Chains A and B, each alone.
Chain A
Amino acid sequence: MKTLLTNARLIDPEAGTETTGSLLIEDGIITAVGSEADPHGADKQIDCQGKCLAPGIIDIGVKIGEPGERHKESYRTAGLAAAAGGVTTMVTRPDTTPAMDTPEALSFANRRASEVAPVNVLQMAALTKGRDGREMVEMGFMKDAGAVGFTDCDHVIRDPKVFSRALTYARSLNALVMAHPQEPDLSKGAAVTSGKFASLRGLPGVSPMAERMGLERDLALVEMSKARYHADCLSTSAALPALKRAKEAGLDVTAGTSIHHLTLNEFDVDDYRTFFKLKPPLRSEDDRKAMIAAVASGLIDTLSSFHTPQDEESKRLPYEEAASGAVGLETLLPAAMRLYHSGDLTLPQLWRAMSLAPARRLGLAAGRLTAGAPADLVLFDPDAPFVMDRFRLRSKSKNTPYDGARMQGKVLMSFVAGQPVFQKD
Chain B
Amino acid sequence: MTIRAKHLLGIENLAPDEITTILDLADQYVDLNRRQVKHSDALAGLTQINMFFENSTRTQASFEIAGKRLGADVMNMAMQASSIKKGETLIDTALTLNAMHPDILVVRHPHSGAVNLLASKVNCAVLNAGDGKHEHPTQALLDALTIRRKKGRLHRLSVAICGDIAHSRVARSNILLLGKMENRVRLVGPPTLMPSEVKELGVEVYDDMREGLKDVDVVMMLRLQRERMDGGFIPSEREYYHRYGLDAEKLSYAKDDAIVMHPGPMNRGVEIDGTIADDINRSVIQEQVEMGVAVRMAAMDLLARNLKTGSEDEQAVYA
Contacts and interface: CB of A to CB of B under 8 A. Distances in A.
Interface of A: 194-196, 198-203, 205, 207, 271-272, 313, 316-321
B112 interface: yes
B112 A194 contact: no
Interface in B196-236: 196-198, 200-201
A196 B113 contact: no
B169 interface: yes
A199 B201 contact: yes
A272 B117 contact: yes
Given A194-B196, A194-B197, A321-B111, A202 B90 contact: no
Contact of A196 (B12, B89, B134, B200): B200
Name the residue among B109, B172, B196, B198 with the largest chain A CB count within 10 angstroms: B196
Task: Give the secondary structure class of A's interface.
Answer: loop
A132 B272 CA distance: 47
B196 A195 contact: yes
B89 A316 contact: yes
Name the residue among A205, A271, A318, A320 with the largest chain B CB count within 10 angstroms: A318
Contacts of A201: 112-113, 134
Contacts of A320: 111-113, 132
A202 B116 contact: no
A199 B113 contact: no
B45 to A, nearest CB: 32
B195 interface: yes
Given A196-B200, A318-B109, A320-B111, A203 B133 contact: yes
7 contacts: A199-B200, A203-B134, A317-B90, A318-B111, A318-B113, A319-B111, A320-B113
Closest 8 CB pairs of A and B: A272-B113, A202-B133, A202-B134, A199-B195, A318-B111, A318-B114, A202-B112, A194-B196
B197 to A, nearest CB: 5
B135 interface: yes
B276 interface: no
B114 to A, nearest CB: 4
A191 to B, nearest CB: 9
B117 A318 contact: yes
Contacts of B113: 201-203, 271-272, 318-320
A196 B131 CA distance: 18
A200 B116 contact: no
Contacts of B201: 196, 199-200
Contacts of B114: 318
Contact of A202 (B89, B172, B197, B200): B172
B112 A319 contact: yes
Contacts of A318: 90, 109, 111-114, 117, 132
Interface in B18-62: none
